[in-house]
Structure 1
Amino acid sequence: MARRKKVYEGKTKILYDGPEPGTLIQYFKDEGISSEAPVTSEAKGTEGKGVLNNRLSEFFMTGLNSIGVPTHFIKRLNMREQLVRMAEILPLEVVVRNFAAGELSTKLGIPEGTALPRPIVEYYYKDDRLSSPMVAEEHIVAFGWASQQDLDDVVALALRVNDFLSGVMMGVGVRLADFRIEVGRVWEGDYMRLIIADEISPDNCRLWDMRPVIDRGDGQPVAEPGPMADVYTELARRLGVLPTNVTHSPKPTLIN
């Protein structure tokens, strides 16, 4: 059994030292939801969730890399682990909303499911003790969490991720209501750039199934969005990444 040094453990993942400088091994757990920000699918801890999230995040990160959106993903190592690039994570959760849902509906009185006139980008300060409060760009720049140029780049990245994910999801009958990403800094010599980090999975997306069909009485059946049953398995099945053997691999032995 491999012996590695644990770098960090969160609600849904564990990070270990990677085999080469500047790399980490990201291990996906079954329990937990990854964000305190008000974005979620109907996801809950479920048997084999970590295996499915590993495959789904690989699928989305690989797709983003292929269209020129830089991510920390390097390669999947096994059923629960992937090799990623080390990055300095901005202390922000970046939320992109396409449809009214959750707090946006309850606080502003907008009916859930209402299409927004354009994608809305929000920021939440990463601090579990404060339940990740929403912050404005002025707070971020004033407290030195990121520069204005950083935020301009973050918005550009987030909107490109949104275009990609929305298209992929729509192609398999799923509506992407909103999602959360994390962004990190990496250096290449003296040049710094921002990349997508963490994961992209049902843990940090709100997904609605467009396939249920209802009859509203006028003889014209229509697709009505609703929660996806067993969102992890169903999304993996539709995208063609469902592993044939979902098993629990043991955690590596830790060294201090």
Structure 2
Amino acid sequence: MARRKKIYEGKAKILYEGPEPGTYVQYFKDDATAFNAAKHDIIEGKGVLNNRLSEFFMNGLNEVGVPTHFIRRLNMREQLIRQVEIIPLEVIVRNRAAGSLSKRLGIPEGKVLPRPMVEFCYKDDGLGDPLVTEENIATFGWASQQDLDDMVSLALRVNDFLSGVFMAVGIRLIDFKIEIGRVYEGDYQRLILADEISPDSCRLWDIETGRKLDKDVFRQDLGSLSDAYSELARRLGVLPSNSTPITKPTLIN
């Protein structure tokens, strides 16, 4: 399709004007970043895999009644999505301690939490996406109490779905982050899942070996990010089971 006006460029994706009113084209880049982009590299084929993996998860969520912005995949790197008004919050769901939670509270990585924990971070790269409370959110008008209740409910439904999908292929979902947007239908608004779901936004550990299959491989210099993402895609059936590590992936339609 012909290139359209660029709307926004982030660390891993670009949004372009869509072919129809109320739509965007979301393009997945090969950039890998960590520590608020202090660490950066180009991983050939990463964007192709993340596009396909996010399609896989979004389609699955749509099928079980979790509303998302995803409409369809257009090609190897682009998908058509619904235009939404993004709430300026990252919603994090944690099933086990890891990452910043372990650092903040001194909890050993991998410790099982008594229940899934939902946290919010304010989306601002300049501030490092700081953790915020529900009181902060209400005070500054980023979301209403009803919005917060709906966001927590939606995030926990996503957690239930993803946990089951990953468990079935021998992977433990440690935590993940999502973004949520508002869509307007007449006088009413509703909240839907936006952005992406990919190994860039999840922590995923092999159940038997503890091997990490997510962006922590890049953050912590644990080996090849391409190998980790390809292994994840193979287990989920997105890549053929006999495929070699990606440079230019062959994907299953």
Q: State if a TM-score over 0.5 links the two structures.
A: yes
TM-aligned CA distance change 1:44 to 1:149, over 3 Å: farther
The farther-off stretch of 115-124 and 98-107 is 98-107
CA distance in 2, matches of 1:197, 1:112: 28
**Mapped pair 1:95 → 2:92:** yes
Query: Partner residue of 1:11?
Result: 11
Residue 29 of structure 1 aligns with an amino acid whose one-letter code is K
C-alpha contact (below 8 Å) 1:51/1:246 kept by paired residues: no
- After TM superposition, the structure 1 = structure 2 runs for residues 192-203 of structure 1, keeping only pairs within 5 Å, are 192-203=189-200
Shift of 1:89: 0.2
**Aligned residue for 2:184?**
187
2:44 and 2:248 in contact (8 A); partners too: no
Asked whether the 8 Å contact 2:180–2:192 carries over to 1, the reply is: yes
- State the distance in 1 between where 2:109 and 2:168 align: 22
SS in 2 for 1:226: coil
Distance in 2 separating the partners of 1:6 and 1:139: 32
Equivalence for 2:25: 25
* CA separation of 1:114 and 1:177: change in aligned 2, threshold 3 A: same
- Could you state the TM-score of these two structures normalised by the residue count of structure 2? 0.86
Distance 1:246 1:193 in 2: 40
Shift in CA distance, 98/133, structure 1 to aligned 2, threshold 3 Å:
same
Contact 2:171 2:207 in 1 (8 A): yes
Letter in 2 for 1:27: Y
Amino acid at match of 1:240: G
> What is the TM-score normalised by the length of structure 1?
0.85
Task: Select which of 126, 131, 136 maps to 1:134.
Answer: 131
Of 199, 208, 212, the residue aligned with 1:227 is 212
Distance 1:104 1:86 in 2: 32
**Does the CA contact (< 8 Å) of 2:122 and 2:131 recur in 1?**
yes
TM-superposed deviation, 1:44 = 7.1
Contact 1:30 1:47 in 2 (8 A): yes
- 1:82 aligned partner, one-letter code: Q
Which stretch shows the higher mean deviation, 154-163 or 1-10? Answer: 1-10
Deviations 1:150-190 (A, max 9, x none): 00000000000000000000111111100000000001111
Higher relative contact order (CA 8 A, sep 6+): 1
Structure 1 gaps, min length 5: 37-42, 213-224, 249-256
Report the secondary structure of 2:150's partner residue: helix
Q: Which moved more, 1:58-67 or 1:202-211?
A: 202-211
1:61-114 CA-partner distances (Å, limit 9, x unpaired): 000000100000000000000000000000000000000111211221211111
Aligned to 1:61: 58
Stretch of structure 1 that moved more, 165-174 or 98-107? 98-107
Does structure 1 conserve the Cα–Cα contact (< 8 Å) formed by 2:95 and 2:115?
yes
Q: Kindly tell me: are residues 50 and 35 of structure 1, through their superposed partners in 2, closer, same or farther at Cα, counting changes over 3 Å? A: farther
Larger radius of gyration: 1
Matching of residue 47 in structure 1 with residue 32 in structure 2 = no
**2:162 aligned with 1:165, yes or no?**
yes
In structure 2, C-alpha distance between the alignment counterparts of 1:112 and 1:85, rounded to whole Å: 37
Q: Are 1:77 and 2:74 an aligned pair?
A: yes
Match of 1:149 among 132, 143, 146: 146
- Aligned equivalents of 1:199 and 1:72: distance in 2? 9
Q: State the alpha-carbon separation in 1 of the partners of residues 44 and 191 from structure 2.
A: 34
Distance apart, 1:246 and its partner CA: 6.1
